[in-house]
Amino acid sequence: MIRNKTGTRVMLLAVLLVAIALVPAVSAQNETNYSVTEEVAFEHANAQIINFIADGGEFEEWKGASIDPKPLELYDPNGQKLYYQFSVYKNNSLIGRVDVGANKTLGQSIQVIELTPVLYNTTEAMKKSIEIARNEYPDGKIKLTKTVVYCYPNIGAMTVIKDRVSGKEHRIFVDAYTLEVIPDKPATETEPGIWSIFDRRLQNGVEENLKSWQASDQLAKSIEQEVASKGTCISVPVTLDDYLNSEATNVNYESYTYFSGLYSMGNTLISRYGKLPELETEEQKENWNSTLGKLNNRTKDTIASKYMYPHGEVMSCGINNKGYFVILFKYGSVDKPLMDEIYTLIDDSAKKMGIQDIPVEFGYGTYWEEIYLEGTNHWFWFGESTENLSKSNIDTLEEVMEHRPTMPLNKTIVAYGIIPLLKDPNEIGIWQGKLYTITHNIQGKITPYMEKGQIITYGARIRLEIEVNETLSSEEKNTIIKEVYRIINEEARKQNITDVPVVFTTSEEDSMTEPNNSSNSDSESDTRNKTSKNNSTPGFGSLGSLTCLYGGWKFRRK
């Protein structure tokens, strides 16, 4: 940790340099494949800071903060792009900065972190450096003006002007903090001056630096995979928090398997009971899931007759990939005594199987399933009051609830974001309308991917669903996913939606209806009335809006 002349605390994550001789002219090296893009730099900043926050220490105060994805580009006095400087904000206040190397030959990606940043004014520094250049060399031609790190860690403006008569180039430096003119002379042991980080960093070759950058990249990718399993994408602005210990995303439906009841499109955790066993191998997980299946067989009759809809508040029974037995309720006043009562039933049965402290997860599900019940003259939404239903209709509901619900056929690559708790068809319809606005507004940006055959379909239901061409390489899929999610996230934020739920899949199956601009009609109702009383319809129905009527929108490559 050092302090510059402004008093800024700076954490140095690379071996910083001693002053060296002045580089006399601007002769920027050509950008090569060693260059780091702004997008990659942002991913590294996001990933590594999430990792630092998870470790605690000085970064504890950064919890709840986010990194601005638009960096200030800092250059070396030799003219080459040096750093991407990202600002960190919390409650709209600047609390830090992260400098990421713009070139792999600089070594590890995160070069500098400022924990107590001091404001500076690059705009005024640039204006002043241009004015001085024009005053001192009135016949000269200005070649460029850049924000530079002229004497680490000091930042300023550099204007290069070429004298028309002599042809000589001159550099004018103005400090961005004090707006003082900095003489263009080499630094010495006793006096600061102008020196090049690149020149020093490359004097012994690049091999070790490239190895350091690769190590940073591998760490960033491992963090990316870890947080992706929690529903977080490091390619977009996120709230910096301990994502390594956060919950799994509810956008990935493959996280849950249901024994009976309804298929839930997004769960909201209420409470957990018991203790998870240690499951390290795939065989152990499979055996445990088999055990939970046997436990379900022991308890299902009692749960169905006493607690499951239409007799109670339970809508689904199943398991999740963490190893919990799962009970999902319809939205309502689910109190602790009810959960205690159901847990006691499950726990008693588990103890008879030799299992202590059976892990059970209770939550709310988001359901969107209807069934035509004879004599009601309308499609009945699961969750509605059954007070006025006949016994035969109650029996029909029981029959549907006791079967295993149909799961989606798509194979999930990755799922990001959070599906909010949607309590009823009206809230589902409003939410879908927002997602439809997003899909409509990004259509022009997604079309090129579809024309190239990289994306097969995209659309909206409770989440945005993007089908990626399964023949693409893993690297190409990963690139497309990041690019497309950035597009979606940018539009979602315009709609005041953060953590927009998006799933990327590979599948040839059609799990949503095609778009249709017609409205509900008598002829459609007549057609639906002819279906079997046991034909429940997930995701479709006349729920008061075009969104709900057709269950979702999907755009397909022509």
Domain shared by 299 and 332, yes or no: yes
Picking from 373, 401, 429, the residue at the C-terminal end of a domain is: 401
Task: Say whether both 119 and 79 belong to one domain.
Answer: yes
Confidence of residue 508 (pLDDT cuts 50, 70, 90): low
Specify the pLDDT at position 554: 58
Task: Specify the pLDDT at position 466.
Answer: 95
In a domain, 8, yes or no: yes
202 and 291, same domain (yes or no): no
Query: With 50 as the cut, is the pLDDT of residue 244 above it?
Result: yes
Q: Where are the beta strands (DSSP E) in 199-352?
A: 239-240, 256-261, 267-273, 314-320, 325-329
Residue 127 falls within a domain, yes or no? Answer: yes
**246, 266, 300 - which closes a domain:** 246
Q: Which residues contact 93 (CB under 8 A, 6 or more apart)?
A: none
Instruction: Give pLDDT, residue 406.
Output: 80
Do 38 and 55 lie in a common domain? yes
Residue 174 scores a pLDDT above 90: yes
Q: Which two tokens stand for residue 506?
A: 């590979």
Kindly report the pTM of this predicted structure: 0.78
**Within this chain, do residues 62 and 170 fall inside the same structural domain, yes or no?**
yes
Gap between the Cα atoms of 227 and 245, Å rounded: 9
Look at the chain and report how many structural domains it folds into: 3
Residue 406 inside a domain? The answer is no
- Are 551 and 539 contacting, i.e. CB atoms less than 8 angstroms apart? yes
Q: pLDDT band for position 155 (50/70/90)?
A: very high
pLDDT of 549 reads 32
CA atoms of 87 and 79, how far apart (whole Å): 23
Q: What does the pLDDT average to over 492-519?
A: 69
**Which of 225-234, 244-253, 407-416 comes out lowest in average pLDDT?**
244-253
pLDDT, residue 336, reads 95
* pLDDT classification of 54: cutoffs 50, 70, 90: confident
Shared domain check, 543 and 437: yes
Domain contains 240: yes
Taking residues 161-174, report their average pLDDT: 92
In a domain, 462, yes or no: yes
Tokens of 542: 């006349």
Number of H helices, E strands in the chain: 12, 25
Write out the E strands in 44-189.
65-67, 72-75, 81-90, 93-101, 110-114, 141-151, 154-162, 169-175, 181-182
- Please give the Cα distance from 97 to 115 (Å, whole number): 7
Residues 210 and 280 in one domain: no
Identify whether residues 493 and 525 lie together within a single domain: yes
Strand 360-365 and strand 325-329: the pairing is: parallel
Q: Based on the domain organization, do 112 and 6 belong to the same domain?
A: yes
209 and 164 fall within a common domain: yes
pLDDT at 379 over 90: no
- Same domain flag for 376 and 451: no
365 close to 260: Cβ distance less than 8 angstroms: no
Q: Kindly tell me the burial class for residue 487, based on how many C-beta atoms sit within 10 Å of its own C-beta (0-12, 13-18, 19 or more).
A: middle
Residues 438 and 532 in one domain: yes
Question: Which residue, 238, 342, 400, is CA-closest to 230?
Answer: 238
Provide the pLDDT for residue 369.
87
Give yes or no for residue 523 having a pLDDT over 80.
no
Domain boundary among 197, 218, 246: 246
Whether the bond into 420 is cis, omega within 30 of 0: no
Give the domain extent around 272: 247-401
pLDDT mean over 484-505: 94
